Structure 1
Amino acid sequence: MNPCASFRKLCKVFSVIFATFSLVYLAYIIVFVKVVLPEASLTAYIFRPVKLILNDRVCKLNVTDDPIIKVKNTRTFLVSAFLDFRDSRIVRILGITNRYEPDSLLCDFCFFNPNNSNSNFAELQVHTDHFGFPYGTTDLLCNVQDHTDPQYVSLYQMDDPAPVFLKIQNTMEEVNKLETTFQYNILICVSAMFGSYSNVLQFVQSMEMYRMLGAEKVIIYHTESSPNMKKILSYYVDLKFVELIPWPITSFINVSKGWHYPDHPGDLHYFGQTAALNDCIYRNMYKSKYIALNDIDELIIPILHKDWPEMLEHFLRDDPNLNVFIFENHLFPTTPQDKTNDMTPEEWISVPGVNILHHVYREPNLPSEINPTKMIINPRSVVRVSVHVPLEFTGNQYQVPSDVAKLCHYREPKQKDLDQSFLIEDHILSKYEINLIERVNQVLVDINYIKVKNISHW
């Protein structure tokens, strides 16, 4: 018997088996990528294990702190990433996507333990309140292995050789430090300040009213403002009362200047307002006990209570499971000057902007129309919100009666043809008036906007 011939036969058998296995595996890959993952790159998928090893080594070098990130070769924009363990253990990435052509994206993680690795496809959940625009705020969900604590996450298409990583916020270590003692009792989230915003007087009045009402921090998503406003913003930032989040949304996507598509042209609703609000909620979920969501020209004014903490405490005594408090809008048109206030310093005339103390008439709300609302929420109960209502939350919601508190909105009239005789006189700010004038005047003096020799009599 020739041993060499037997060995050659054995080699042939193994060669046939190996070739058959390789063909079957290749066919499986082709079918899987092209049918199950139609958007994926075959080459990227085959070589993906090598890429995972490289990601674990270099991800920290590719971490970005940019406020908005465009995913390469996609219609997806990322804002921030958070560990969310309230229901299932996931990383929730807040972003903006095209509703009609969603991208197929992979999640990759970097962990505190570099020996861990995990990758899966992101689940895209577009928020239901997109106001008809082609792009909408989106949750991109990445499953996390049990008992792992990812530090960074990347979303990318398979053929992207160098994905960018986001730092994951609200990690277990951060939450454990904050969940028993909150940094703030009430914090305010204000979505995008844009254009050459220059309403200096009303801004200062709103900031001082917020402080009087019990807010300890105001978060503003800042796109653009006038030089005069930048001076005021710097003042409040130095006081650590205002925090500015850069919001360069106009550099990434064509945004609308109104709320309804297609009446207001653009690809994304109102400067990405809902993306900013949801980011603010998650960013401060474990820092603040409550978060108020309203604009600079809006004030939630208690009627039966002196401030927000007293009001919320009263509500919770009746129902400890309340997590969302809804306030009905009441519009005070600022076109006519309704009241002359003798206590208001003359120097305020030189300050640009609206003086809310001069407007004491409001429009009647029309029962035939849906009236907008704004919220104070327990952020840990909220999954996602729109501008006026929560979209998903746990616990109970309370529609606050208008004789208990009002959302006072100081802006141009909505009912433009309404005769002034139909306006309702409302002095809701009267109990705060003297204190507000003193505080606003002091701010304007501090920043050298006005000069007053003696302010002690106000």
Structure 2
Amino acid sequence: SSSSHSSSKLLVLKAKKEYEKWYKQNIVNIPVELLQSSTEYHDPKHCTKLPNLFDLNFNNIYWQSLTTKNRGIAYFLSAYYDNRYLIENRPMLRIISVIKEVDLPFVKYCQIWFKNEKKLIRSNVSNPITMEPFKTPLHTYILSCNVPKEYSMHIPTAVSLVEGECDLATNILKVNYNMPKDGGDKENFAICIKGIDYPHQDLSFYLVEYIELCRLMGVHKLFIYDYDSHPNMSMVLRYYEIQDQVQVIPMTIPGTRPNLHGLIHEYVKVYTHEKHVYERIPHNDCFYMNIHKYKYLAFFDLDEIMIPNEGKTWSQLINAVMKKEKRNKGSKYEPPSAYLFQGTIYNDALRQPYGWDPDIPKHMFMLQNVYRIPFNSRYPKQIIDTERNLGISNHKPQKCIGICKTHHMQPSEAYISHFRTECKGKCKTVIKDTNTWKYKEELIENVEKSLRNIGLL
């Protein structure tokens, strides 16, 4: 009957919508709509075509790969459109990649695909940005391709990396161009947190305190890369994602390294030199994800936070420092590529001889731990200017647009608080520092409210 036929059609349409929704949520770096379209792409050289979904080489869920003729291999995570005004040959495409050094020269061409252009555009891979070298098989690179001038007014939909101009691509990455909502101005501050990995340790109470403290200091959003989290921590992250204060990016390691639940945690504990290589991936992915959305990006671990001494918010701090620098340097002043901060360690071992503070809930780890060791400038952490950088390493900019200029913050201005559970023999000199207490009343109120909303209290 016609009614049953209509019902069947509706079910098919509903299933199709659910299928498309699943694709968008789970296959985030592939231009699914482009691959599902019936558009025929014209190749001026008449030698290749748009790959289909099953031409692609997938690796560890979020990666795609290219195998070269000499059996080399390159892994690709994401692609970004870079149209910053200081870029000499803008616009550029930036591809977050992990490659064996000997195989890098074989990744030669970008095949660029536009939604409304029925023609394949080619561009050479140029000026790969490498991170600090480690003695490991794989290295993190940012590959770049120039978008030809005649297409500079159009945003590419996707890009493929190939060895030969006529190769059928085995990868195709959605090109991301993330702009402020409603065409507004950039937000001031976001934090990029690399690969959290706590499969067995429940830090959910600490995580709430951390996020709420960031909010009080004027941080707009946290981008948290997640290898493996305790269920309670995942619950906290979902709560803040709904409020658009956190974005969680699921993460795996490329290649043949383990990615099973719990196993990645054991692996990076043993192979720490490889861990440092993999840390560059979320740093640079987060950087290019946000170059057009935020003025400044901070790169911290989850147990680190920058506390300003000048003012209560990061904006007050940066504005005060800029004002001071402009006054001292006059017309010679140039904004730095990055602000570098010395660090200090706070932990339970330092607090224990003094007991708990009765006015603060025991689960408020940062507010309870106000005993620290002297400052250490050996491994600074950074807040970078998104207009002036090209590549990010752990402790400083790796490559900048022009010369990398850094401003070293004095502890009297601001510093990194590194919260640990143990001291590892560095705790002979202990200093009481209650800088975080300037947020105490508001922070306790906000944390308690959020813990109740989440269902942890």
Q: TM-score range by the shorter chain?
A: 0.7 to 0.9
Deviation at 1:63, TM superposition (A): 8.9
> Are 1:277 and 1:293, in contact at CA under 8 Å, matched by a contact in 2?
yes
Deviation at 1:162, TM superposition (A): 4.5
Which residue among 197, 203, 207 is the counterpart of 2:207? Answer: 203
Residue 81 (str. 1) matches residue 82 (str. 2): no
Partner of 2:140, secondary structure, is strand
Which residue among 294, 297, 301 is the counterpart of 1:295? Answer: 301
Which residue among 91, 94, 103 is the counterpart of 2:96? Answer: 94
* Alpha-carbon displacement from aligned partner over 1:195-220 (angstroms, at most 9, x marks no partner): 41521222111111100000111111
* Alpha-carbon displacement from aligned partner over 1:10-42 (angstroms, at most 9, x marks no partner): xxxxxxxxxxxxxxxxxxxxxxxxxxxxxxxxx
> Are 1:364 and 1:423, in contact at CA under 8 Å, matched by a contact in 2?
yes
Which residue among 148, 153, 165 is the counterpart of 1:145? Answer: 148
- Cα RMSD (Å) of the superposition? 3.3
- In 2, the alpha carbon distance for the partners of 1:61 and 1:145 equals 29
- Show the 5 A alignment for 1:379-398: 379-394=386-401, 396-398=405-407
> Are 1:179 and 1:286, in contact at CA under 8 Å, matched by a contact in 2?
no
> Are 1:79 and 1:94, in contact at CA under 8 Å, matched by a contact in 2?
yes
Q: What TM-score do the two structures reach when normalised by structure 2?
A: 0.75
Which residue among 201, 210, 223 is the counterpart of 1:219? Answer: 223
Q: What amino acid maps onto 1:357 in structure 2?
A: L
Residue 426 (str. 1) matches residue 455 (str. 2): no
Q: Which residue of 2 aligns with 1:345?
A: 361
- In 2, the alpha carbon distance for the partners of 1:313 and 1:372 equals 24
- In 2, the alpha carbon distance for the partners of 1:160 and 1:116 equals 16
* Alpha-carbon displacement from aligned partner over 1:175-206 (angstroms, at most 9, x marks no partner): 6x779733522111111112415212221111
Q: Which residue of 1 aligns with 2:289?
A: 283
Q: What amino acid maps onto 1:75 in structure 2?
A: I
Going from structure 1 to structure 2, the CA distance change for 1:61 and 1:152 (only over 3 Å counts) comes to: farther
% identical aligned pairs: 23
- In 1, the alpha carbon distance for the partners of 2:423 and 2:258 equals 26
- Show the 5 A alignment for 1:128-139: 128-139=131-142
> Are 1:184 and 1:217, in contact at CA under 8 Å, matched by a contact in 2?
no
Q: What amino acid maps onto 2:63 in structure 1?
A: I
Which residue among 421, 440, 443 is the counterpart of 1:436? Answer: 443
Partner of 2:170, secondary structure, is coil
Going from structure 1 to structure 2, the CA distance change for 1:64 and 1:304 (only over 3 Å counts) comes to: farther
Residue 377 (str. 1) matches residue 377 (str. 2): no
Residue 321 (str. 1) matches residue 335 (str. 2): yes
- In 1, the alpha carbon distance for the partners of 2:228 and 2:53 equals 31
Partner of 2:79, secondary structure, is strand
- In 2, the alpha carbon distance for the partners of 1:412 and 1:71 equals 43
Q: Which residue of 2 aligns with 1:330?
A: 344
Q: What amino acid maps onto 2:372 in structure 1?
A: R
- Show the 5 A alignment for 1:185-196: 185-196=188-199
Partner of 2:283, secondary structure, is helix
Q: Which residue of 2 aligns with 1:253?
A: 257
* Alpha-carbon displacement from aligned partner over 1:268-324 (angstroms, at most 9, x marks no partner): 334721111111011011111221111211110011211101111112223462342
Q: What amino acid maps onto 1:333 in structure 2?
A: N
Q: Which residue of 1 aligns with 2:66?
A: 71
- In 1, the alpha carbon distance for the partners of 2:111 and 2:368 equals 56
Partner of 1:139, secondary structure, is strand
- Show the 5 A alignment for 1:33-112: 49-52=45-48, 54-55=49-50, 67-72=62-67, 74-85=72-83, 86-89=87-90, 90-102=92-104, 104-105=106-107, 106-112=109-115
Structure 1 spans left out of the alignment, 5+ residues: 1-46, 349-353, 451-458
> Are 1:200 and 1:228, in contact at CA under 8 Å, matched by a contact in 2?
yes
Q: Which residue of 2 aligns with 1:405?
A: 414
* Alpha-carbon displacement from aligned partner over 1:242-261 (angstroms, at most 9, x marks no partner): 1111112267536986999x
Going from structure 1 to structure 2, the CA distance change for 1:447 and 1:251 (only over 3 Å counts) comes to: farther
Alignment size in residue pairs: 384
Partner of 2:73, secondary structure, is coil
Going from structure 1 to structure 2, the CA distance change for 1:133 and 1:306 (only over 3 Å counts) comes to: same
> Are 2:161 and 2:169, in contact at CA under 8 Å, matched by a contact in 1?
no
Partner of 1:431, secondary structure, is helix
- In 2, the alpha carbon distance for the partners of 1:417 and 1:93 equals 41
Deviation at 1:100, TM superposition (A): 4.0
Q: Which residue of 2 aligns with 1:268?
A: 274
Residue 228 (str. 1) matches residue 218 (str. 2): no
Deviation at 1:439, TM superposition (A): 1.4
> Are 1:130 and 1:269, in contact at CA under 8 Å, matched by a contact in 2?
no
Going from structure 1 to structure 2, the CA distance change for 1:62 and 1:250 (only over 3 Å counts) comes to: closer
Q: What amino acid maps onto 2:367 in structure 1?
A: L
Q: Which residue of 1 aligns with 2:28?
A: none
Which residue among 243, 248, 252 is the counterpart of 1:244? Answer: 248
Going from structure 1 to structure 2, the CA distance change for 1:251 and 1:439 (only over 3 Å counts) comes to: farther
Partner of 2:158, secondary structure, is strand
Which residue among 350, 363, 375 is the counterpart of 2:373? Answer: 363
Going from structure 1 to structure 2, the CA distance change for 1:141 and 1:340 (only over 3 Å counts) comes to: same
Partner of 1:88, secondary structure, is coil
- In 2, the alpha carbon distance for the partners of 1:194 and 1:307 equals 29
> Are 2:225 and 2:282, in contact at CA under 8 Å, matched by a contact in 1?
yes
Deviates most, 102-111 or 247-256: 247-256
Structure 2 spans left out of the alignment, 5+ residues: 1-42, 327-333
Q: Which residue of 2 aligns with 1:32?
A: none
Deviates most, 139-148 or 317-326: 317-326
> Are 1:257 and 1:264, in contact at CA under 8 Å, matched by a contact in 2?
no
Which has the higher Rg, Structure 1 or Structure 2?
1
> Are 1:136 and 1:268, in contact at CA under 8 Å, matched by a contact in 2?
no
Q: What amino acid maps onto 1:50 in structure 2?
A: H
- In 2, the alpha carbon distance for the partners of 1:390 and 1:124 equals 17
Deviation at 1:267, TM superposition (A): 7.4
Q: What amino acid maps onto 1:80 in structure 2?
A: S
